[in-house]
Amino acid sequence: MEEKALYVIAEFDEVTCEKLKHIEKKLRKNGIFGRQTAGIPYHITIGKYSIDREIEIRRLLADVCKRTEKVDVCFNTIGMFGSEVLFLKPDKCIGLKKLHRSLAKGCIKEHTDWVPHTTLLIDVAEVVQKAIPIVENTFEPFIGRINSISLYELFPAQLVEKVELKELNL
């Protein structure tokens, strides 16, 4: 079992989540469920921190979120980590890079090679291979919106705090 840790994640608005759920429903309709972490909404992981830094990270979230606007991200690529993780990859837009830079200081693993992504499926290679054409036929590039930042304790998954980002000034 993995040691407990804190994770800062960027969560999406309802419209974005519905688009991601549409892909999930197609996978489930084809008998593909995966072994992703249950109880966590669709997200982009920003960083992982040691459990003893909760108070510090909560202050950081409050500070960053009160001065940061919601971020639009363009999902246009399907990707994989190895043969067992299938994900959607957003462009590394300026807003996403700034958000990551502001929140990822002091992570357990410095994210110099950070790959922003939203996991669709974690499973054995054979199941992921079966899922690829389903995702390819279902996915269409779209603009999603990050509207909040959450702090989760894992494992097991437990929400510690969720903070909304500022409204966009258009």
Consecutive 10-residue averages of pLDDT for the chain (170 residues): 87 98 98 93 94 94 95 97 97 93 76 85 98 98 98 94 90
Q: Is 76 helix (H, G, I), strand (E, B) or coil?
A: strand
Q: Is residue 82 assigned to a domain?
A: yes
pLDDT of 108 reads 67
Number of domains in the chain: 1
pLDDT of 105 reads 76
Q: How far apart are CA 110 and CA 128, in angstroms?
A: 28
What residue ranges in 23-62 does DSSP mark as E strands? Answer: 43-49
| 18-41 CB burial, b ≥16 within 10 A, e <16 | ebbeebbebbeeeebebeeeeebe
pLDDT of 114 reads 87
Q: Is residue 28 assigned to a domain?
A: yes
Backbone angles phi and psi of 67, in degrees to 5: -115, 5
pLDDT of 129 reads 98
Q: Is residue 63 assigned to a domain?
A: yes
Question: What CATH number corresponds to the domain at position 31?
Answer: 3.90.1140.10
* Domain that residue 103 falls in: 5-155
Q: Is residue 160 assigned to a domain?
A: no
pLDDT of 38 reads 84
Q: Is residue 147 assigned to a domain?
A: yes
Q: Is residue 50 assigned to a domain?
A: yes
Q: Is residue 167 assigned to a domain?
A: no
